[in-house]
Amino acid sequence: MTTESKNMSRRKFITLAGAGAGFAAMAGFGMNLDWALNKPEIDTDALGINKISTDVLVVGSGMAGLFAAVKAHDAGANVMMVSKGRLGASGQTPFAKGIFAYDKDKEEISIDEFVAKVSRSALGTNNQAYTRQLAEHSLARVNELREWGFFESSLYNKSFSKPIEERNIPLQERVTITHLIKEDERVVGAAGFSIDEQKVLFYEAKSVILCTGAGGFKPNGFPICDLTHDGTIMAYDIGAKVTGKEWNDGHPSRGENPAACYDGWGDMFEQKPGTTGIEVRHDLGVDMNYMAYMNGGAAQMGPPGMGNQDNKVKGGPFTPEEFTKRDRGDGPPPGGENRKRPPRKEREDGPPGMGRGTVVGGSSAGMSIHKAEGLVPINDKCESTIKGLYAAGDALGSYMAGGIYTQIGSSLSGSAVQGAIAGETAANYSKNVKSHSISTSKLNSIEEEILAPLKREAGYSPAWVTQTLQSIMIPNFIIYIKKENLMRAALAYVEELRDHHVPHLRASNLHELRLAHETKNMVISAEMKLRASLMRKESRCSHYRLDYPEMDNENWQAWINIFRGKDGTMQLEKQPFDTVNQINSVRNKETV
């Protein structure tokens, strides 16, 4: 196989070289035809390599990563934190301004009642153990955050740095992790590269906690362009099960300057965070996509997810009765709503981010519901289907809220709660595990994979492949208003990108190298999203099928898990709602 693939690439190279000669001839006509030629700005042979050892490796530095690192340290483990961005300033954390805290002295309903209410809104899609855990632990986490000064600034780097610095937890920022490393059926580390130090980095760790957030297709209008499901895809690549891909976050954007997510949210990004109490909703988002689909565009759009329009169309996504009649002013903000937040600009004009005028859909395209997509947990301790691999926050498919927005502000506190639990669990696990030295052959092959786009003599730019993927996936009639034939068509396109473009991604510098790996992850995520959406032949919560508009309780009281089959193909299985995944259970395989 290896030889064959080498021959293939050699043949391809010859073809390209021949084409290059042709282009050179045509260049005489004044056309710039060296689009495909890779002109590396850095010498890959000069890139350094570092190997670092730790007990617990925390990947990601948002809310989940913060608590994972702190609690793993406090449980006695050596911890190291590594982030693609900056502590408190990457992923969705910096933009989430509301954090839910269940305070039994202030709330009128008990935790049992809260869990029941969430379950009703979620139409059974939530994992009650995680919903309960959120309520039980949220106040403690919020109090810790308050101690660190979290509520004193709209910027979180300072408050997040406090506990990390106090504990001397090593932190590496602007490091793109691309690979998880599994040997002897357990996780033994991770690998990636540092943009600032121009180095390939290997981490030997007894356990790894993915706090890598969710992701999207680098959509316009939502601050998730650094989130490309990296953790999910890395874990999928080493055999982990992932879930929740069929659900959709339905955030719209303003018709004018739709890419300007800061402007879209008024001045919310500059507000200090605040806490929220119990307020369970059923915020669809996808209902607006349905309306736009039926009405033929955004012209008469009202606020998202909120039903008050005169031009309400028949049919569409189902909202449980008790969650329809609400005095709504706001759509679901990123990471939650904050009731104590000072009034925003434009408040009277509509929901945050809308203002006056038309709205357009798909600002968060590619993202599922917070906490619904990600690694499948095998218990309520954030443990994944791979030994030693944990996930927390949006990287964990905990179904804490279900396939729909339920409790306001729970996204941020859920990340805090799960991060803490994952940290403690991983630290305890690491105590009984011997450190493992990753084999040289593995290191070499991974290094080769990481740097491949830099070494290609020609290829496609990540920006172009991403743009093409966006055109395939983001249209309303593909990702939101789903139907069999169009999803099959999109899947064919995505498979083409997967098989014939991803292997030819090129990079001329480390910025582009990061984009190349992100693009690969987005393409695989798109495939997951389409396959899961095809498999779920019903409509429920934020998943809407035009060809199966009804909820099917007989067949679909189940989550969809996705994993890589032995032949390398994508496999899907059902897992009944609110059950625990048994790794060795009989798999109800269903390949779409």
Partner 1 sequence: MKTKNYIIKFSALIFTFIVVPLFLYFSGNFERRNILMETLSIVTILAFSLLLSQFFTSRLNYKLMKQIRMVNVVAIHRFIGYIFISVILLHPFFIIVPKFFDNTLTPTDAFVRLITTYNTTGIILGLIAYGIMIILMVTAFFRFKMNLHYRTWRSLHGYLTLLFVITATWHVIDMGRHSNGSYTLFYLLVVATGIYYVMRKYLFKKTAKK
Partner 2 sequence: MPIKSIKGCIGCEECIKSCPTDVIRLNPDSKKAEILYPEDCQICHLCRMYCPVDAITITPDKSIPVIVSWG
Q: Which is nearer to partner 2, 157 or 358 (CB)?
A: 157
Q: Taking the CA of residue 111 as centre, how many other CA atoms within 13 Å lie in the half-sphere pointing to its CB?
A: 17
Q: Which is nearer to partner 2, 103 or 256 (CB)?
A: 256
Pairing of strands 186-194, 175-183: antiparallel
Rounded to whole angstroms, the Cα distance separating 517 from 179 reads 10
- Residue 573 DSSP SS3: strand
**Nearest distance from C-beta of residue 61 to partner 1, angstroms:** 19
- Residue 220 interaction partner, one of partner 2, partner 1, none, beta carbon < 5-8 Å per kind: partner 2
Q: In one letter, which amino acid is 225?
A: C
What token pair was written down for 521?
């992850």
Judged by CB under 8 A, how many residues of this single chain contact partner 1?
7
Q: Which is nearer to partner 1, 199 or 272 (CB)?
A: 272
**Nearest distance from C-beta of residue 343 to partner 1, angstroms:** 14
Pairing of strands 186-194, 374-375: unpaired
Rounded to whole angstroms, the Cα distance separating 332 from 115 reads 20
Q: Which is nearer to partner 2, 141 or 218 (CB)?
A: 218
Q: Which is nearer to partner 2, 86 or 442 (CB)?
A: 86
Cβ proximity of 494 and 502 under 8 Å: no
| H-assigned helices in 324-461 | 410-431, 440-455
Asked whether position 165 contacts partner 1 by CB under 8 A, the answer is no
Rounded to whole angstroms, the Cα distance separating 506 from 38 reads 6
- Residue 460 interaction partner, one of partner 1, partner 2, none, beta carbon < 5-8 Å per kind: partner 2
Q: Which is nearer to partner 1, 272 or 326 (CB)?
A: 272
Rounded to whole angstroms, the Cα distance separating 579 from 557 reads 11
Cβ proximity of 411 and 401 under 8 Å: yes
End-to-end CA distance of the chain: 27
- The DSSP element (H or E) to which 138 belongs, if any, is helix 128-147
**Nearest distance from C-beta of residue 195 to partner 1, angstroms:** 18
Q: Which is nearer to partner 1, 158 or 328 (CB)?
A: 158
Secondary structure, 3-state, 191-224: EEEECCCCEEEEEEEEEEEECCCCECCCCCCCCC
Asked whether position 196 contacts partner 1 by CB under 8 A, the answer is no
Asked whether position 34 contacts partner 1 by CB under 8 A, the answer is no
Touching partner 1, residues 103-162 (CB under 8 A): 153-155, 158
* Residues found near partner 2 in the complex (CB under 8 A): 35-36, 85-86, 89-91, 94-95, 154-155, 157, 173-174, 195, 218, 220, 223-226, 257, 259-263, 269-270, 460-461, 463-464, 467, 471, 511, 514-515
Residue 174 has a CB neighbour count (10 Å cut-off) of: 17
Touching partner 1, residues 306-325 (CB under 8 A): none
- Residue 262 interaction partner, one of partner 1, partner 2, none, beta carbon < 5-8 Å per kind: partner 2
What token pair was written down for 580?
């625990």
Q: Which is nearer to partner 2, 204 or 394 (CB)?
A: 394
- Residue 198 interaction partner, one of partner 2, partner 1, none, beta carbon < 5-8 Å per kind: none
**Nearest distance from C-beta of residue 554 to partner 2, angstroms:** 43
Cβ proximity of 195 and 507 under 8 Å: no
What token pair was written down for 126?
């939530």
Cβ proximity of 382 and 308 under 8 Å: no
**Nearest distance from C-beta of residue 419 to partner 1, angstroms:** 24
Q: Which is nearer to partner 2, 21 or 35 (CB)?
A: 35
**Nearest distance from C-beta of residue 101 to partner 1, angstroms:** 20
**Nearest distance from C-beta of residue 519 to partner 2, angstroms:** 12
Q: Which of 256, 273, 263 is nearest to 93 (CA)?
A: 273
Q: Which is nearer to partner 1, 272 or 387 (CB)?
A: 272
- Residue 547 interaction partner, one of partner 2, partner 1, none, beta carbon < 5-8 Å per kind: none
Please report the beta strands in 500-566, taking only residues with DSSP state E, as ranges in sequence order: 558-564
> Measured in whole angstroms, how far is the alpha carbon of residue 509 from the centre of its chain?
25
**Nearest distance from C-beta of residue 258 to partner 2, angstroms:** 8
- Residue 333 interaction partner, one of partner 1, partner 2, none, beta carbon < 5-8 Å per kind: none
**Nearest distance from C-beta of residue 258 to partner 1, angstroms:** 23
Among residues 51, 146, 272, 326, which is the contact residue for partner 1, using CB under 8 A?
A: 272
Q: Which is nearer to partner 1, 158 or 387 (CB)?
A: 158
Q: One symbol per residue from 208 to 247: x for binding partner 1 (CB under 8 A), - otherwise; what is it?
A: ----------------------------------------
**Nearest distance from C-beta of residue 94 to partner 2, angstroms:** 6
- The DSSP symbol for 112 reads H
Rounded to whole angstroms, the Cα distance separating 432 from 388 reads 11
**Nearest distance from C-beta of residue 27 to partner 2, angstroms:** 17
Q: Which is nearer to partner 1, 344 or 540 (CB)?
A: 344
- Residue 158 interaction partner, one of partner 1, partner 2, none, beta carbon < 5-8 Å per kind: partner 1
Which residue is associated with the tokens 């033929």?
A: 296
What token pair was written down for 15?
């073809």
Q: Name the CA radius of gyration of the chain, rounded.
A: 23
Rounded to whole angstroms, the Cα distance separating 571 from 231 reads 18
User: Distance of CA 154 to CAs 149, 162, 261, 304, 308, Å?
Assistant: 11, 15, 16, 26, 32
- Residue 36 interaction partner, one of partner 1, partner 2, none, beta carbon < 5-8 Å per kind: partner 2
Q: Which is nearer to partner 2, 363 or 384 (CB)?
A: 363
Q: Taking the CA of residue 309 as centre, how many other CA atoms within 13 Å lie in the half-sphere pointing to its CB?
A: 20
Interface contacts to partner 1, rule CB under 8 A: 153-155, 158, 270-272
